[in-house]
A and B are shown apart, each in its own frame.
Chain A
Amino acid sequence: MEIRKVGIVGAGTMGCGIAESVAEKGYDVILVDRTEELIEEARSRIEMSLNKKLEKWAITEAEKKVTLSRIRPTSQLINITPADLVIEAVIEDPDVKKEIFRTLDNLCADDVVFATNTSTLSITELAAATGRPDKVIGLHFLNPVTRIKLVEIVRGLKTSDETFATASKFVASLDKTGVEVYESPGFVTTRVIVPLLNEAMYALMEGVASAKGIDTAMKLGFDLGKGPLELADRMGLDTVLAFMDRLFRDLGDLKFRPCPLLRKLVRAGHLGVKTGQGFFKYDEEGNLIE
């Protein structure tokens, strides 16, 4: 089916990033969240992101206007019915997500594909809440959506080849690269990166090197854009901890045991960039303070 209108449920960081990336490629976007306030916040968040691009000469004033005009924010889920594809990006709570999928299942035409942006939950389990498990798929966009070229396209147990093909084509049309992933805790990205971050924290805790030393060694040694501790700060230490806990629980392997230092920082409220302090200190715009 030809996708022209994309519905996005959840207008937080991820929902807004997805909305912006999708609208920029010429799709009409219906962006839904629960209240008028949240919707208003989303609108200004997207505008700020576009302003940043404008400052960096990436887009023109006219292109900014066109992109904004393609996004229709609304607080009524019923307005999503014209969408040809729905992407769910609400909080990582299986009950909340299932409830939304149940509602969407009643609202949307039978051939509409449902995608979830979950990074940890089971697609198969969410799909079971609908009467169309073959049309449910994972589209795992990474933060910041507008800059990261990758989307993990996650197949649940019942996801059909046709649904996968539709999703792949859609991802390619966003100028992003899709990687086919079979459902498993943490998919590829989270599963592989989080233990690396965790190991860097162990190295710090054991006094192998300073935080700056660890990041510099990894950055220069392996040609990484950012060191593991800064990356953890940017992801949010509470998020990293939640990932570790979940992987540990789901897979039961000791290699996923969260580093005690990580837990300690989270308890202290040092969550990384969003609180201004994690392993490093950050200013209000999220720039590292040397």
Chain B
Amino acid sequence: MKVFVLNCGSSSVKYQLFNMDNESVMAKGLVERIGSDDAVLTHRPEGRQPVKQIGPILDHTTAISKVLAVLTHQEHGVICDVSEIGAVGHRVVHGGEAFTGSVLITDEVKKALRDCIDLAPLHNPPNLTGIAAAEALMPGVPQVAVFDTAFHSTMPRHAFLYPVPYVLYQRHKVRRYGFHGTSHRYVAWRASEILGRPLEDLKIISCHLGNGASIAAIKGGKSIDTSMGFTPLEGLMMGTRSGDVDPGVILFVMDREQLTLVEANAMLNKHSGLIGLSGLSSDMREIEAGMAQGNPRAKDAFDVYEYRIRKYIGAYAAAMDGVDVIIFTAGVGENSPLLRRRVCEGLTFLGVRIDTAKNEVRGKEADISAEGSTVRVLVVPTNEELVIARDTMEIVSSLGAREHVAAEGRV
């Protein structure tokens, strides 16, 4: 079966087409600047030259129809006809408390997703738009939603409740949800494959360090805690997001600087983190370069970033009463040997020892633990799209099987 994976943002669509017979990527690409006269579609058919198209694309439906056109294009295409696509998998940011796993999209599911809009006002609306567009363009093709929050739905109450008036949980569903679930789930599964040990036996701490960053405590294959919370602002320091700060600071600054809610929100989400502390860049590569040139604020930014990861690892080792595996993934996690080394150097009390030569790896799967390390340290490039494709495939196949049984039953 061929599965089409879509990740719709407010003005962008990322896509991958999988051949699930061998889990290979047939093509992937990206549409940017949707809503403008100079939108850009970049299409990368596997093993061939990428194609770029620039032109007006005013909405997601047009964007996805252009993607389908290029997928079936005589020269750049990888399939002959859209009907070859057996199912569509959507990345959906927030599933609220309603969704604890991936689901087939039905009218009820769409209604429940609309109910979650308050929880993810920036992300869920474009996800819903993408679903509507795909339904319009591929009528009858089953669609599946895979949630960023779902993997963390196994967190116990003591991990997801905030110590604020309980009525806020009842009234507004204020609690920890966690994000990057698809990524944490994928790398945890890969870790068990690499180590040849069942997930059920492992205590894993996975560090997803990209533009957004989060860390998860995964015990027996289940997320029991994660650093992002009600919104993706909590937890680790990120490129432009603050992560954990004293809530009193926010109230104080809003008062002193006379900030509105919008301004305070933008300050914490777009002007903090690496860029806020260094004044240099939100990109860890530039922070490392600045640090090498002796820029003191780049060093501050790096030190705070690293220290906070280490603190969380300590906390999650305590949360699980031990740790067997630490995983680094996503942009920074996969590509910064310096950061991994610095984090691990402070974790010797846990039995962490890394091999500095092996640690030089970038963007590839590797076990970077030293001989005798009681904790295995892995670099695992994440692959959220593959998880979405697999979930989609699984749900759609069981659907087919059920219909088959039902049909036989009638005879």
**B58 touches which one: A4, A56, A58, A59 (CB < 8 A)?**
A4
Instruction: Tell me if A222 counts as interface (CB < 8 A to partner B).
Output: no
Q: Is B341's beta carbon under 8 Å from chain A?
A: no
A60 at the interface (CB under 8 A from B): yes
Check A56–B257 contact: CB distance below 8 A: yes
Q: Among residues 239 to 288 in chain B, which have CB atoms less than 8 Å away from a CB atom of chain A? A: 240, 257, 259-260, 262-264, 266-267, 270-271
Which A residues are CB-close (under 8 A) to B262? 58
Q: When chains A and B are docked, how far (Å) is the Cα of A56 from the Cα of B58?
A: 32
Tell me if B101 is interfacial: C-beta within 8 Å of chain A. Answer: no
Is A58 touching B263 in the complex (CB atoms < 8 A)? yes
- List chain A residues, Cβ under 8 A from B257: 56
A57 near B263 with CB under 8 A, answer yes
- Interface: B35 (CB within 8 A): yes
Minimum CB distance partner of A59 in chain B: B266
A26 adjacent to chain B (CB < 8 Å): yes
**Shortest Cβ distance from A255 into chain B, in angstroms?**
35
Chain A residues within 8 Å of B264, by CB: 57
Cβ of B33 to closest chain A Cβ, rounded Å: 10
Which B residues touch A53, using CB under 8 A? 263
Who on chain A is nearest to B37 by CB? Answer: A28
Chain B residues bordering chain A, tally (CB within 8 A): 13
Docked complex Cα distance between A26 and B11 (Å): 10
Name the residue on A nearest B10 (C-beta): A26
Q: Which residue of A4, A53, A57 has the most chain B CB atoms within 10 A of its CB atom?
A: A57
Complex alpha-carbon distance, A60 and B240, angstroms? 10
Top 8 A-B pairs, shortest CB-CB distance: A57-B267, A58-B263, A57-B271, A56-B263, A60-B270, A58-B266, A57-B266, A57-B263
Given A56-B259, A57-B271; 16 other pairs, CB 8 A cutoff: A53-B263, A56-B257, A56-B263, A57-B263, A57-B264, A57-B266, A57-B267, A58-B260, A58-B262, A58-B266, A58-B267, A59-B270, A60-B240, A60-B266, A60-B270, A60-B271
**Could you say which residues of chain A place their CB within 8 Å of the CB of B58?**
4
Complex CA distance for A26 and B33, rounded to whole angstroms: 11
Chain A: which residue is nearest B264 at the CB level?
A57
Report Cα–Cα, A147/B274, bound state, in Å.
29
Query: Are B270 and A57 within 8 A (Cβ)?
Result: yes
A116 → B minimal CB distance (Å): 27
> From residue 1 to 54 of chain B, which have CB atoms closer than 8 A to chain A?
35
Residue ID in chain B nearest A57 by CB atoms: B267
Closest residue to B271 on the A side, CB-wise?
A57
In the complex, 25 of the A-B residue pairs with CB atoms within 8 angstroms, ordered by the A residue number, are A4-B58, A26-B35, A53-B263, A56-B257, A56-B259, A56-B263, A56-B267, A57-B259, A57-B263, A57-B264, A57-B266, A57-B267, A57-B270, A57-B271, A58-B260, A58-B262, A58-B263, A58-B266, A58-B267, A59-B266, A59-B270, A60-B240, A60-B266, A60-B270, A60-B271
Which residues of A sit under 8 angstroms from B259, Cβ to Cβ? 56-57
User: Considering the chains assembled together, what is the distance between the CA atoms of A4 and B34 in angstroms?
Assistant: 13
Min CB gap B89→A, angstroms = 28
A60-B271 Cα distance, complex, nearest whole Å: 7
Distance, CA A58 to CA B259, complexed state (A): 9
Complex contacts, B35 vs chain A, CB 8 Å? 26
> Residues of B contacting A4 with CB < 8 Å?
58
Return A31 CB to nearest CB of chain B, in Å.
Answer: 18
Of all chain B residues, the one with the shortest Cβ separation from A70 is: B36
How far apart are A191's CB and chain B's nearest CB, in angstroms? 28
Chain B, 126-168, CB within 8 A of any chain A CB: none
Q: Provide the residues of chain A in CB contact with B266, threshold 8 Å.
A: 57-60
Interface string of A50-63 (1 = CB under 8 A from B): 00010011111000
Residue of A at shortest CB range from B275? A60
Q: How far is the CA of A53 from the CA of B264 in the complex (A)?
A: 11
In the complex, what's the smallest C-beta–C-beta distance from B279 to chain A, in angstroms? 12
CA distance A59 to B240 in the complex (A): 12
Chain B min CB distance to A83 (Å): 14
Roughly how many angstroms separate A44 CA and B79 CA in the complex, as a whole number?
52
Q: Which residues of chain A come closer than 8 Å to B267, judged between CB atoms?
A: 56-58
A68 to chain B, nearest CB (A): 15
What's the Cα separation between A27 and B264 when bound, in Å? 25
**Chain A CB within 10 A, most for which of B35, B260, B262:** B262
Chain A residues whose C-beta falls within 8 Å of the C-beta of B263 in the assembled complex: 53, 56-58
Tell me, in angstroms, the Cα distance from A57 to B271 when the chains sit together.
7
Across the interface, which residues of A come within 8 angstroms of B260, CB to CB?
A: 58
Assembly CA distance A245 to B290 (angstroms): 63
In the complex, what residues of B have CB within 8 A of residue A60's CB? 240, 266, 270-271
A42 CB, nearest partner CB in chain B, Å: 23
Interface residues of B in 200-250 (CB under 8 A from A): 240
Q: Which residues of B contact A56 (CB under 8 A)?
A: 257, 259, 263, 267
Q: Which residues of A contact B270 (CB under 8 A)?
A: 57, 59-60
Per-position binary interface string of chain A over residues 195-216, scored 1 when its CB falls under 8 Å from any chain B CB and 0 otherwise? 0000000000000000000000
Shortest distance between the CB of A213 and any CB in chain B (Å): 24
Residues of A within 8 A of B240 (CB): 60
A1-34, CB under 8 A of B: which get 1 and which 0? 0001000000000000000000000100000000
* Complex: A60 Cα to B263 Cα, angstroms: 11
The smallest beta-carbon distance between A70 and chain B, in angstroms, is 9
Whole-angstrom distance between the Cβ of B60 and the nearest chain A Cβ: 14
A139–chain B nearest beta-carbon distance, Å: 22
A26 to chain B, nearest CB (A): 6
Closest to A26 in B: B35
Q: How far is the CB of B264 from chain A (nearest CB, A)?
A: 8
Question: In whole angstroms, what is the CA distance A60 to B275 when docked?
Answer: 11
Residues in B whose Cβ lies below 8 Å from that of A57: 259, 263-264, 266-267, 270-271
CA distance A58 to B264 in the complex (A): 7
**Complex CA–CA separation, A58 to B271 (angstroms):** 9
Inter-chain CA distance A59–B264, complex, in Å, is 10
CA separation between A4 and B57, bound complex, in Å?
12
**Minimum CB distance partner of B253 in chain A:** A57
A60 to B281, CA, bound (A): 12
Contacting residues, chain B, for A59 (C-beta < 8 A): 266, 270
Give the distance in Å from the alpha carbon of A240 to the alpha carbon of B260 in the complex. Answer: 28
Restricting to A157-199, which residues have a CB under 8 Å from any CB of B?
none
Q: Which of A127-151 contact B (CB under 8 A)?
A: none
Separation in Å of the B255 CB from the closest CB of chain A? 14
Chain B nearest Cβ from A73, distance in angstroms: 18
